[in-house]
Amino acid sequence: MIVSGRTLRELQPIKPFCERTKFNGMTYGVGPAGYDVRIDQDLIIPPGGFVLASTMEEFDVPLDMIAIVHDKSTWARLGLAVQNTVIEPGWKGFLTLELTNHNPPRKWWGFWRCDQEGVIAIQRGTPIAQIIFHKLDHPAEQPYSGKYQGQKRGPQPAILET
């Protein structure tokens, strides 16, 4: 079952928790069936580029929920993909997002170059992704306790364990 905005208001698993608000023509905050988060950095992503970014919001996912990160449609139509990360029951911290600019570089005289065309610039505070919470049929027996628990603000690199 997808969790409603009403239930998200009651639980407030995200801090700061905001009602639906507009910034740069895009919405963030609680919606009818999810929550749209904002980016915490100014970014310039060249065509074909990949970057890590952080949300301004901090998460505390209840044990009876799981959340999925989804693209916002405006960004998707501009060629920006936000990888569909899973946020496990019991996970706490600031979310690191993986962003890819799918616009191709322009080709000139037989070599590839990044021109202004296809570059995606994102201002800090801009809505970047939507989070859909799903209710589990039973609370998780153990909360998430992996290597990304308690993730700090700011984009965090992958942790490769041997």
State pLDDT tens for residues 104-129: 876 544 444 445 678 899 999 999 99
Residue among 57, 88, 98, 117 flagged as catalytic: 98
CATH assignment of the domain containing 44? 2.70.40.10
CA-to-CA distance for 103 and 59, rounded, in angstroms? 31
Q: Are 117 and 77 in contact (CB under 8 A)?
A: no
How confident is the model at residue 109, as a pLDDT? 43
Q: Does the residue 55 lie in any domain?
A: yes
Average pLDDT on 65-78 reads 95
How confident is the model at residue 11, as a pLDDT? 97
pTM of the model: 0.90
Q: Does the residue 100 lie in any domain?
A: yes
Vertex 25: Cα angle to 128 and 51 (nearest 5)? 25
Q: Does the residue 14 lie in any domain?
A: yes
Backbone angles phi, psi at 3, to 5 degrees: -80, 135
Q: Does the residue 141 lie in any domain?
A: no
Annotation says 58 is catalytic: no
Q: What secondary structure letter does DSSP report for 6?
A: H
- Count structural domains, the chain: 1
**Average pLDDT of the residues of the chain:** 92
Q: Does the residue 146 lie in any domain?
A: no
Q: Does the residue 153 lie in any domain?
A: no
Q: Does the residue 121 lie in any domain?
A: yes
Domain extent at residue 104: 5-135
Confidence class of residue 3 from pLDDT cuts 50, 70 and 90? very high
